[in-house]
Amino acid sequence: MNERSFIFDLIMHNKYNLILRAAEKIISTSGIQGLSMQQVASEAGVAAGTIYRYFKDKDELILELRKDVLSQVAAAILQDHHLGTLEERFKRIWMKMHNYGKQPSPTNLSYEQYANLPGTHTDEIRALEMKLFEPLHSLFEEGLAQGIIQPLHPRALYAIAMEPSMAMARAMRRGLIEYDEKDITLACDLCWRAIVIPTTPTN
């Protein structure tokens, strides 16, 4: 790749990201219904026609934004997923997920708006989720193989053990309740114990 081609690709990538971040900001403040391609163009500081070089319509823009957010979340919570014991890895991911989710960022605020839209739970999105969050899936599979974790499907294990992290974070982000550090640490420990097979004490 020559220098001119590299610069062109960099400019294109930067505009793509500008458009995504602009859409994210609009959705976080005005909701999905407040999103228009003209508004996105204005927020991103690009010509309206430029957006259609990257996205054919608003639905595709929202879908690509969701994929981008999934990538951001996975990168934030799974960076050092392989370090430590199974319990340490689980609790680190749980806490990172909670800390990430409680931030009132445009990413979190916009994700709630479009996560459950019709058409977003496609095979493409499911495949991307499996790829991005494979380390978490592997953690459960490892625990199952070792006989440490209850014999449930990984999705059920996630619902029992990980979703409380996000639920508590969401309540804090919305100002509904303020948990202190002891509450969060205890909740994390309870979620771990909820999926672990109890050991029988030896005499």
Please tell me whether residues 38 and 114 are part of one structural domain: no
Residue 135 in domain: yes
Question: In 10 A of CB 78, how many CB atoms?
Answer: 20
What CATH number does residue 134 fall under? 1.10.357.10
Same domain, 89 and 26: no
Q: Are residues 115 and 166 in the same domain?
A: yes
Do 114 and 156 have their domain in common? yes
Question: Would residue 51 count as lying in a domain?
Answer: yes
pLDDT for 9: 44
- The verdict on 49 and 101 lying in the same domain is no
Angstrom distance (rounded) from CA 51 to CA 46: 8
In a shared domain, residues 104 and 155 = yes
Q: Do 100 and 189 fall into the same domain?
A: yes
In this prediction, residue 68 carries a pLDDT of 87
Domain shared by 19 and 118, yes or no: no
Tell me the mean pLDDT per 10 residues along the chain, length 203. 47 78 86 85 89 90 86 87 94 94 73 59 81 91 95 93 93 91 96 91 53
Domain count of the fold of the chain: 2
Phi, psi of 163 (to 5 degrees): -60, -35
**How large is the greatest C-alpha to C-alpha distance in the chain, in angstroms?**
75
- Note whether residue 185 is domain-resident: yes
pLDDT score recorded for residue 141? 94
Q: Which domain holds residue 32?
A: 1-55
* 26 Cβ contact list (under 8 Å, min separation 6): 34, 35, 39, 40, 43
pTM: 0.78
Measure the N-to-C terminal CA separation of the chain; round to a whole number of Å.
69
Residue 156 in domain: yes
